[in-house]
Structure 1
Amino acid sequence: MPSDRYIDFANSDMGRRLVKAVGLPTPTRLERWQAGRLRPIEGNLLISSGPLADQVRQFAPRLTDAQYSLDNDVPDAPQWVAGQSPRLKAVVFDASGLHRAEQLVQLRDFFKPVLRELERCARIVILGHAPASLDDPLAASTQQAVEGFSRSLGKELRDGSTVQLLQVATGAEAQLEGALRFFLSPKSAFISGQVLQLELNGNQVQDWSRPLAGRRALVTGSARGIGASIAETLARDGAQVLLLDVPQARAELEALAARLGGQALALDISAQDAAEQLREHLPEGLDILVHNAGITRDKTLANMTPDLWDAVLDINLQAPQRLTQALLDNGTLRSDARIVLMASISGLAGNRGQTNYTASKAGLIGYARAMAPILKDRGISINAVAPGFIETHMTEKMPFALREAGRRMNSLGQGGLPQDVAEAVAWLSQSGSGAVSGQVLRVCGQSVIGA
């Protein structure tokens, strides 16, 4: 994996002194999930007051051994006092009760002392409601203000810390544990400033040590890079994996499949009989479909030839659409399945010289949003994951200036790793994550581009 030499230097003894003297940023090496870890949070968790916070307290002992409250009357949760109590690894603030502008000061009053007491790579999650779900215009306005606050807070955090906003629908409280297990843990290391809505969903994970146990997954473009990391992470979480890539990558594909105890299928997803071949290799059906395969053929639009345009749109957009529909129609995709589409922040913001690529990735986002209500009755969720700058062998070949710009133009000041994308896909593949559908999860360190 490519090395970020600036982070190595800035975190050395000499480098730390030098970058501080000249006022350069010092990106923190991010904590990521390691094999053998037992708890999502290894440290102290502070939970605010509020109705959703009360729900969190019920399962908080399964997240960490040490939880605190701002009040002194919460059983099994000692009162946390700034400057006197231990530093915090995770924070949950319930903003669902903020319905008027004058109540927004509670955000300032709560977070101002907390920010000085965070450990390195701390995790903050704010809980609220989707503004569109509220009939009262003033309440909707206030909840929209909470979103603006959360995004700005993410840009002020230091030392690898992150913040997310979860907007919880009435009846969706049971899905908070799965979401917080992800967003309060190192699995969400390269995700910050994101807003997701949790809707009502009856499914629950039965075994948190292997949340995908018994589920069958297909990952396209999985011979190397992000796709290989996704396959590894799904297998780690208990899924049986079918790895798919082009025939030219057969050797790498089969080696990875053997290591993961999965199956390999060398197949061009744009082939006319691709769906039929998949059905033959999936006689027992499919629970998780990850469309990761994709190509780039970059040219400015003035120099874009028809073959470059057509190849990218066919592989990146049309093939996932065709395969998804075919697997739905022939019954291979089972009820309560999870579909994850690999988009890109360039599909949200555009990118010079990539009109074909950004159109294809934006199309995937639109496909997820449009298909979500159609698939809802079958319990199937469909979401897009939009990576930002990820350290791969492909980005290693970028010109130095562009590569450094990509790394630094986010709140965490560095590029992500394929593992970061894979962890997001694995979470969206869980049974309980059906509470999230038709949405885009950016894995970009809160990049300055995009939405």
Structure 2
Amino acid sequence: MATDTYTEFVNSGLGRKITKSLGLPQPAKLRRYRPEAPLIEGPVVVVGASEVADNIAARLLTWDLDVRRHIGPKEKVAAVVAVFDTAATPADLSRNVLELGGMLKQLKPSGRVITVFRDPESTDDPTARAARKGAEGMTRSLAHEMRAGATANGIVLHEQLDATAPGVAGALRYLLSGRSAFVSGQFVSVNSVNGQLPHDWAAPLQDQVAVVTGAARGIGASIAKVLRRDGAQVILVDVPAAGEALAAAANEVEGTALQLDITRDDAAERILDHAQQHYGRLDIVVHNAGITRDKLLANMDAPRWDSVIAVNIESQLRMNRTLLGSELFSRVENGVGPRIVSLASTSGIAGNRGQTNYAASKSAVMGMVSAGSAQLEARHGTINAVAPGFIETEMTAKMPLGTREVARRLNSLSQGGLPVDVAETVAFLASPSAAGTSGLTLRVCGQNLVGA
């Protein structure tokens, strides 16, 4: 993995002075999650006068945070939660937006802004939908204005959803924490009252069993580590050719290794047999395995196209059908059922030159997730996707220096993400506290300046 020497230079005294004088990007050292660290340090201001705002303030108080409804003109602010759930017209946004804006210069480094509003698609009233889309557009634009590692994201509530639902608390905690360090300008939809808050927020996956494909190295290995840190038992899957690295990764997380080509017709059966034999249960499936075979479409051949489609999407569809037909993976415990998280990509959102096959496969993943949410809902389960942007991996380290530097700076945080940033978001979506969120593709891209 290549080192981002520019970010290191910018965060030195001399480097900061030189780069500021030249008007160059100022990537900050991001506040990432540490189990022993506070959720967030400093006052959290809740803006808005509604029952939802009151419920959110009450929830934050249970986490021993310094919750305010107003702040002094010279006080530093750790986070602002601005609630727009009662906005019925675009004009209704003004008061809370301007109050929020008045606090932005007081926001601490790596601070958080979270907006909360009702789902625009939940209403057919043009004026109400306009107001909600206005809150969405404001949040996306505000994210571009954040500085010093701060982020702005939104929580989108289904029409009649009560803010006391577990999924609202889960989304709030994720977005406030260092888990969401490389997530900005994005929205977590909470669609149902499903979910269960953990007894211990440091181990939200306690007693759960997860399988991660493509887990021998890179993002997959990082996902396995974070799931294990959060309390899960982990089955690591990769191709036989990666057997040595797979065994090492499994030993590191005290998990079990399964050498398996996921394109095999019996791949899901072998995963189920392994889970039954070693753990007697299976709660979480993370479809991380993927390949690239880049070529301009004019030069594309069948092996390149077909192999990418086979690994990146067809294998997932086939495995999901078998997994959801099994009793082992369809069990419901405390109102929470199976959870599936798939790896998509910003290439599937915005496209990428020379990646028609890869973009097709990753966009197909998002389609699968969107359509699959109803099927999982019947089992009290969820299916979601994570779409990474530029992440510092062995693969991106092989890019030409100039291309790599441009890719790093082409987002609102002006830097590449780390594998752990993807892993943290996967772990959040796999947690019982996120059981109210399904059918979502959540980008981990630092608000990449392409696509939605």
TM-score (norm 1): 0.95
1:30 aligns with 2:25: no
CA separation in 1, counterparts of 2:432 and 2:22? Answer: 49
Structure 1 unmatched runs, 5+: 71-79
Question: Counterparts of 1:9-20 in structure 2 under 5 Å?
Answer: 9-20=9-20
SS of the aligned residue for 1:416 comes to coil
Do residues 94 (structure 1) and 83 (structure 2) align? yes
Which digits, 9 at most, give the CA deviation of each residue in 1:126-179, with x for residues without a partner? Answer: 010011212432111111111010000000111111011111122342222111
Contact 1:45–1:67 (8 Å) recurs in 2: yes
Matches within 5 A, 1:38-187: 39-49=38-48, 50-70=50-70, 80-83=71-74, 86-169=75-158, 170-173=160-163, 174=165, 175-187=167-179
Residue matched to 1:362: 363
Matched, 1:290 2:289: no
Partner of 1:193: 185
8 Å CA contact 1:172–1:198 kept in 2: the answer is no
Structure 2: distance between partners of 1:20 and 1:33: 28
Q: Distance in 1 between matches of 2:25 and 2:195?
A: 43
Equivalent residue for 1:413? Answer: 414
Deviation at 1:195, TM superposition (A): 1.9
1:161-200 CA-partner distances (Å, limit 9, x unpaired): 1011111122342222111110011110000001222111
Matches for 1:306-325 after TM superposition, within 5 Å: 306-325=302-321
Question: In the alignment, residue 343 of structure 1 is paired with which amino acid?
Answer: A
TM-aligned CA distance change 1:311 to 1:54, over 3 Å: same
Partner residue of 1:229 out of 214, 222, 225: 222
Q: Is the 8 A contact 1:172 1:435 kept in 2?
A: no
Counterpart-to-counterpart distance in 2, 1:430 and 1:99: 33
Are the counterparts in 2 of residues 223 and 249 from structure 1 also a CA contact under 8 Å? yes
Contact 1:372 1:438 in 2 (8 A): yes
| Residue aligned with 1:89, SS | strand
Say whether residues 1:326 and 2:344 are aligned partners.
no
- Secondary structure of the residue aligned to 2:155 is strand
CA displacement at 1:285 relative to structure 2: 3.2
Q: Secondary structure at the match of 2:215?
A: coil
SS of residue in 1 equivalent to 2:130: helix
1:74 alignment partner in structure 2: none
The Cα shift of 1:259 comes to: 2.1
Looking at structure 2, the residues matched to 243 and 235 of structure 1 have their Cα atoms a distance apart, in angstroms, of 11
Match of 1:214 in 2: 207
**In structure 1, what is the Cα distance between the partners aligned to 2:91 and 2:344?**
39
In structure 2, the CA distance between the partners of 1:116 and 1:132, relative to structure 1 (3 Å rule), is same
Deviations 1:283-330 (A, max 9, x none): 123110000000001110111111111111100110111111111123
2:276 is the alignment partner of 1:276: no
Work out whether residues 341 and 429 of structure 2, in 8 Å CA contact, stay in contact via their aligned partners in 1.
yes
- Aligned counterpart, 2:394: 393
Deviation string 1:27-86 (CA, Å, 9 cap, x unpaired) is 11111012422x32122211123221111122212334312112xxxxxxxxx1222xx2
Instruction: Answer yes or no: is 1:263 the counterpart of 2:256.
Output: yes
Secondary structure (helix, strand or coil) at the match of 1:378 reads coil
How many residue pairs were aligned?
Answer: 439
Please state how far the C-alpha of 1:20 moved relative to its aligned partner: 1.3
Report deviation, 1:234.
0.5
Going from structure 1 to structure 2, the CA distance change for 1:227 and 1:172 (only over 3 Å counts) comes to: farther
Alpha-carbon shift at residue 404 of structure 1 (Å): 0.9
Q: CA contact under 8 A between 1:43 and 1:64: conserved in structure 2? A: no
Residues 285, 331 of structure 1: 8 Å contact kept? no
Cα contact 1:215–1:240 (8 A) shared by 2: yes
CA distance in 1, matches of 2:183, 2:231: 23
Instruction: Report Cα offsets for 1:93-146 as digits up to 9, x if no partner.
Output: 111121122222224421222111000000111010011212432111111111
| Segment of structure 1 superposing worse, 89-98 or 328-337 | 328-337
Amino acid at match of 1:276: E
- RMSD of Structure 2 on Structure 1 (CA): 1.3
For 2:157 and 2:73, the matched residues in 1 are separated by 28
Please give the alpha-carbon distance, in whole angstroms, between the structure 1 residues aligned to 2:346 and 2:128. Answer: 31
Residue deviations 1:362-396 (CA, integer Å, cap 9, x gap): 00000001111122111110011000000011100
**1:229: how far off?**
0.6
Q: Which runs of 5+ in 2 are unaligned?
A: 332-336
> Which structure 2 residues correspond to residues 369-448 of structure 1 after superposition, within 5 A?
369-448=370-449
